[in-house]
Structure 1
Amino acid sequence: MQEPMSAQLERRYQRLLRAYPRSYRSHRGVEMVTTLLDMAEAGRGRPSRWQAWHLVLSGMRERFRLPTRRPLAWAGALLAAVLLGGFGAVAGTWLGWRTAGSVPSAGELRAFNSALTGMPAPCAIYPDRSAMNGPTIRARADGVAGYSDTRLRAALTGAGWQITTFHERHGDDVRAPVEWVTYRATKGGLKLDGDGFFDVSGSASYRTEVWPREPAVVRPLTIAGLVAGALVGWLLAVAFGFRVRGTGWRRRRAATALSTIALAATAVPAYEHYRDVYQVMVYQHGSPIPYIVYGTGDRIPILGWTVIGLAAIVAALAVPRRG
């Protein structure tokens, strides 16, 4: 049996009204659906595309509208948008780098370095992150080894690398002749940069660094993440403002105090995230040799502050329960 047209229209309008906040639907939803059905019976028929878009956009506008005469709510919403924007930007950068090529593992790089240098002893491996938050891994080998450009070239090409530059230089000190070699290569989405140093006694030192090319989506996803994070922060603040409104003054004060603690705690990791975002946006295009801006001693520990902020947010949302 076919469903009556009025029931189909009512369900369609109710779906469109989901764009409005739940509190708004609870207060005015029945009235709005009744009015829309009366308009349809008067000859308007099913909702037009313009009417559907109007309902959705009006609902989204209500979701972004803060409670009136609440200056603290406006301040909190702005702060929440700024702080969560930093978290969203870092998440966008992380997603962008997931599309990059994978750097070799420590074991793979050690095996490659052994073939490259002729040194059987294990080399030191230093995984790190560039200023653009991309992965990089470096091998450093020191020991005794004879120099052979043939061995270097064969190791590179044998591992699938395409040599782009290969330069040798001889030292001028007759008492202690020295040789230097520098090389660069590419393989798929990876880049390699290395150099070697050799003296008359047979001592040698090699450095080889590998990193992925910068994916084109890193910067756009960073910006998209910042915007998405800011929108989420604003929407959370709006929802919190309406949740607090109508509760007792003790609950409002407790919720305000907890939300202040949450904003203060998340400001610390957000500051660190915005430093990272700045480096991502100003990093030179073309994936040059990766550089590190912040060492381990320069970075602020953010995990503890993030946990404190999240715990305060959860507590603040739980305080103003109605009833």
Structure 2
Amino acid sequence: MSERQTMPVTPDPLARRYRRLLLCYPRAWRRERGEELVATLLEAAPPGRTRPSAREAANLIGHGMRARLGRPRSRSVVVWAALAAVICGLFTASLATRLAWETSRPMPDQAEAAAVLAEIMPGQAVDGIYVPSGLFTMYGEQLSLKMLDSLLFGDGNEYALSATTASRNGASTVPVAQLAAAIEQRLRDSGWTVYGVTHHDLYSCAGPPCDPTVIPQDTRLFAERGDTTMAVELMPQQYADSTFLSVSLSRTTPAAVLPAGIVGGLLGAVAGWLVFGWASRRAQAPHPVRVVVNVLFGITMTLWWPPVLYVAPFMVNHHLGEPHPSWHPLWEWLGQPTFSLFLAAGCAAALLGLALAALPSRRREPQRVAAV
């Protein structure tokens, strides 16, 4: 008997809304027990009610999503489903934010960069302005198939948000501290929001012995105006032809990125839970390859989660260590595409596991009683 026949449509708005909530349950469960549960809920509802209470809705959704996992005697299946749902949500949120970045304006062109440089360094020339070919680049070029081997095998961190850059070589005519103060004041006068000045060692101690007080430091300024961010780096003179000033101009995170990430993450998490639940129900005994499916799921989680757990703390320290007018994209917090090989291998294991779970299961045939 079809589900439409076992759960008929009625004009009662409360019954109709209960049935919508029952969509959280697997189809087989709804066929067997759906109408019985709706009848019980309607009988317990007070007269005049037209909508389920918040408690009823939460209860039906929670129990329905748990029922989709199968394995009623398992306590750990909810944990595994949550891990799968969260990581799928993070990956889909990253994809959604990447697509939302396409709403950003192109990187500043030479004319815009020259105008900005004239504001902070009036009357001084630079040794050239470089305009990138896209918003995100790898080795200065937009990502292409010819870069796939580099992306997968060790150089994925080269894929990053680009910037229009300019630099000046030689020696500064004024001390670095004085030049930094002058640039900061000009930025404020031009309407830029200037963040705190930071200093970083140019190299680490190689000792012992090592005196960190003699290690030269650079000076960095970060500023923001409209949808443009600026990073200025001043370096103490090392050699006669070395760079002592570099300026990077980029775009702030577009407004569409946050809502896209939230919506994409929620949809991905729900999809991850539902797909895991489908495979979990399929791969129960007496499924012929249930052990293999479980092992492949473990391999997938082992490949997907460690990059996130490894990279996220470093990203937190990095963002706390210096101002960020625009935070690094979400996928970098997940270790992507630096560990894209792990992601690709995990996807292969997940797809193989789903394909095996879709195989027909050996169902026990009911024994026939011989007629006496």
Deviation for aligned residue 1:26: 1.0
Query: Hey, what does 2:215 align to over in structure 1?
Result: none
After superposition, the C-alpha distances for 1:80-127 in whole angstroms (9 at most, x for unaligned) are 422442343455467678589958637559954986662454559796
Q: Which structure carries more strand by proportion?
A: 1
In the aligned structure 2, how far is the partner of 1:285 from the partner of 1:199? 25
TM-score, length of structure 1 as denominator length: 0.58
Work out whether residues 81 and 277 of structure 2, in 8 Å CA contact, stay in contact via their aligned partners in 1.
no
RMSD of the alignment, in Å? 5.8
Deviation for aligned residue 1:142: 5.7
Query: Hey, what does 2:86 align to over in structure 1?
Result: 85
Corresponding letter in the other structure for 2:22: L
Query: Hey, what does 2:34 align to over in structure 1?
Result: 29
Deviation for aligned residue 1:305: 1.2
After superposition, the C-alpha distances for 1:147-190 in whole angstroms (9 at most, x for unaligned) are 698xx96xx87xx76384999xxxxxxxxxxxx99765431252
Task: Decide whether aligned partners of structure 1 residues 47 and 99 sit closer, same or farther in structure 2, where only a CA change above 3 A counts.
Answer: farther
Alignment of 1:238 onto 2:277: yes
Query: Hey, what does 2:22 align to over in structure 1?
Result: 17
Corresponding letter in the other structure for 2:163: I
Q: Secondary structure at the match of 2:233?
A: strand
Unaligned runs of 5+ in 2: 1-8, 139-156, 198-217, 364-372
After TM superposition, the structure 1 stretch with the greater mean CA deviation from structure 2, 139-148 or 299-308, is 139-148
Alignment of 1:162 onto 2:200: no
TM-score, length of structure 2 as denominator length: 0.53
Query: Hey, what does 1:61 align to over in structure 2?
Result: 63
After TM superposition, the structure 1 stretch with the greater mean CA deviation from structure 2, 90-99 or 290-299, is 290-299
Deviation for aligned residue 1:54: 1.8
Deviation for aligned residue 1:8: 0.6
Alignment of 1:262 onto 2:297: yes
Query: Hey, what does 1:174 align to over in structure 2?
Result: none
Alignment of 1:8 onto 2:15: no
Aligned length: 290
Task: Decide whether aligned partners of structure 1 residues 213 and 276 sit closer, same or farther in structure 2, where only a CA change above 3 A counts.
Answer: farther
Corresponding letter in the other structure for 2:295: T
Query: Hey, what does 2:225 align to over in structure 1?
Result: 187
After TM superposition, the structure 1 stretch with the greater mean CA deviation from structure 2, 14-23 or 106-115, is 106-115
Corresponding letter in the other structure for 1:78: V
In the aligned structure 2, how far is the partner of 1:96 from the partner of 1:217? 8
Q: Secondary structure at the match of 1:284?
A: helix
In the aligned structure 1, how far is the partner of 2:246 from the partner of 2:307? 31
Task: Decide whether aligned partners of structure 1 residues 118 and 199 sit closer, same or farther in structure 2, where only a CA change above 3 A counts.
Answer: farther
In the aligned structure 2, how far is the partner of 1:51 from the partner of 1:294? 38
From 310, 322, 335, the counterpart of 1:275: 310
After superposition, the C-alpha distances for 1:231-267 in whole angstroms (9 at most, x for unaligned) are 6655543333333347xx3xx2414313421330342
Q: Secondary structure at the match of 1:7?
A: coil
Calculate percent identity across the aligned residue pairs.
18
Task: Decide whether aligned partners of structure 1 residues 93 and 270 sit closer, same or farther in structure 2, where only a CA change above 3 A counts.
Answer: same
Corresponding letter in the other structure for 2:298: L
Query: Hey, what does 2:211 align to over in structure 1?
Result: none
In the aligned structure 1, how far is the partner of 2:16 from the partner of 2:338? 57
After superposition, the C-alpha distances for 1:25-70 in whole angstroms (9 at most, x for unaligned) are 1111233345566x39xx9655454568526623431321454565
In the aligned structure 1, how far is the partner of 2:219 from the partner of 2:280? 64
In the aligned structure 1, how far is the partner of 2:345 from the partner of 2:278? 23
In the aligned structure 1, how far is the partner of 2:334 from the partner of 2:24? 44
